[in-house]
Amino acid sequence: MQKILSPLLILWFCLAAQRAGAQNTILSGVINDSTSGKPWQGISLFLNGTSKGTVTRNDGRFELAVPPGRYELIASAIGYATFLKEINSRNLPASLKITLHNKADELASVTVEPYLKDGWKRYGRTFWQYFIGTTENASSCTIKNKEVLRFHFYLKSNQLSVTAIEPLLIENKALGYQLEYRLERFVCDFSSHIISYYGYPLFRDMPTDDPDKKKKWENNRQLAYMGSIMHFMRSVYSSRVREEGFW
């Protein structure tokens, strides 16, 4: 009987597996700025938990290949609220119009608390343990831009809250992935020992011309997938729980 492994790192990188041979459908549309109302160039869009992404052209328009299935479409820009929309490859809109809204509009009536200047030094190990993990694969990870993290500790509730002002850039040399993760919120409750977080990952293969390295990455990805939550959920969906070793 297989164990169901749940480290966040394993789950993220298993989510990046693409469906081989699947025929893509094209989603097209335009992104506008809520302030000016004008089309916006260079805005990132992607399908949450995949390696499918693109950016808008100079006229604000975009085209994105969508594999068969249901996905969360994410669009984001620094200083703007993240746009999320559920889409289905079987029923894509003829042309999708997206408007991004400045976060300042949402924060106008909210008191913004100062973050800890030494947050990574004080709580970086805790964040790493619960966000990246402690597995062998986790030890091969690097957060390239830790300076974008903002740590807040609330003494009254005994909670640590972490956000990021830009997407986290994470490199995993064991699995051959570069991860762009839009962290919306991470909370560690030291009293209840409950950790929660949410965000939106986009995966990219690390570039290499070494066939042996590519083969090693493929093997490591398969090993990470076996026994993961994603493996279990897919076996439930396909009614193959026993065949996949979970029973």
| 157-181 tens-digit pLDDT | 999 999 999 999 999 999 999 999 9
Residues 170 and 72 placed together within one structural domain of the fold: no
Residue 245 lies in a domain: no
Query: Could you tell me the residue range of the domain that residue 82 belongs to?
Result: 18-107
Angle at 36 between CA 107 and CA 93, to 5 degrees: 90
User: How many independent structural domains does the chain possess?
Assistant: 2
Residues 95 and 123 placed together within one structural domain of the fold: no
Report the distance separating Cα 82 and Cα 77, nearest Å: 7
| 216's tokens | 């090693």
Confidence of residue 35 (pLDDT cuts 50, 70, 90): confident
Proportion of the chain above pLDDT 70, given as a percent: 84
CATH of the domain at 30: 2.60.40.1120
Which contacts of 183-187 are long-range, i.e. CB under 8 A and separated by 24 or more positions?
Answer: 183/149, 184/82, 185/161, 186/127, 186/130, 186/131, 186/161, 186/162, 187/159, 187/160, 187/161, 187/162
Average pLDDT over residues 171-193: 93
Winning range, highest mean pLDDT, from 20-34, 49-63, 125-139 = 49-63
Residue 43 lies in a domain: yes
Task: Write the pLDDT tens digit of every residue in 37-66.
Answer: 899 999 999 999 888 999 999 999 999 999
Residues 204 and 136 placed together within one structural domain of the fold: yes
Model pTM score: 0.77
Residues 41 and 125 placed together within one structural domain of the fold: no
Angle at 73 between CA 25 and CA 205, to 5 degrees: 75
Among 77, 107, 137, the domain boundary falls at 107
Residue 162 lies in a domain: yes
pLDDT at residue number 8 = 52
Among 91, 107, 123, the domain boundary falls at 107
Q: With 80 as the cut, is the pLDDT of residue 207 above it?
A: yes
Residues 134 and 97 placed together within one structural domain of the fold: no
Residues 89 and 118 placed together within one structural domain of the fold: no
Among 59, 91, 107, the domain boundary falls at 107
Sequence letter at residue 83: F
Residue 3 lies in a domain: no
Proportion of the chain above pLDDT 90, given as a percent: 57
